[in-house]
Amino acid sequence: MRFLRHLGAATAAAAIVVALGLAWAHFGAQTLAPGPQIRFKQEIVTMPPGSRQPHGTVAAGHGMRGGGIRVGPNGLTVIRARPFDLGLGSMFDPVNLPILRHTVVIEAGVIAVVVALDVLRRRSRRSWRAAQLAAETYRPDDEP
């Protein structure tokens, strides 16, 4: 019963956010600056010599060396000649691993920065407390 109550409250919180999003879309859609739609930057992946071109990708154009694979405007997702591409061919394709690595690197970087800041904060607070304690316990009369 308690779980259901909490689930209801959590659902209500999410529903409020969705309602705010709908209101934003209705009343102020133009406030969201137009930018690139779902598109990922073009990336160039250099494959090891002799490796086969992954299914669905297009070969490199001019100006690329070393057997690279140039992937189209949707990034490393597979480009197919079919008119309606669901992108199913790119599922867990090793050529697309740099995208996953990119995400992991960003997450790891942010985590490292936050942890370092937290450690520094705690350390400085501890030393400040130690200094406060030392100042409180220090008595000039105690000196020999």
Of 33, 63, 67, which is closest to residue 52 (Cα–Cα)? 67
* 18 is a contact residue toward other proteins (CB under 8 A): yes
Of 56 and 60, the one with the shorter C-beta distance to other proteins is 56
Query: Of how many residues is the chain composed?
Result: 144
Query: In sequence order, what DSSP letters do the residues of 106-125 get, joined into one string?
Result: HHHHHHHHHHHHHHHHHHHH
Minimum CB separation of residue 83 from other proteins in Å reads 14
Q: Which stretch binds other proteins (CB under 8 A): 5-13, 47-55, 57-65, 134-142?
A: 5-13
Q: Which stretch binds other proteins (CB under 8 A): 6-14, 46-54, 59-67, 129-137?
A: 6-14
Query: In sequence order, what DSSP letters do the residues of 54-73 get, joined into one string?
Result: PTT-EE--TT--SSEEE--T
Of 7 and 64, the one with the shorter C-beta distance to other proteins is 7
Q: Which of 54, 69, 79, 90 binds other proteins (CB under 8 A)?
A: 90
Please list the helix, strand and coil fractions of the chain in percent, rounded to the nearest 5, in that order: 55, 5, 40
56 neighbors 90 (Cβ within 8 angstroms): yes
User: Contact positions toward other proteins, by CB under 8 A?
Assistant: 3, 6-7, 9-11, 13-14, 17-18, 20-21, 24-25, 29, 32-38, 40, 74-78, 86-93, 96-97, 99-100, 102-104, 106-111, 113-115, 118
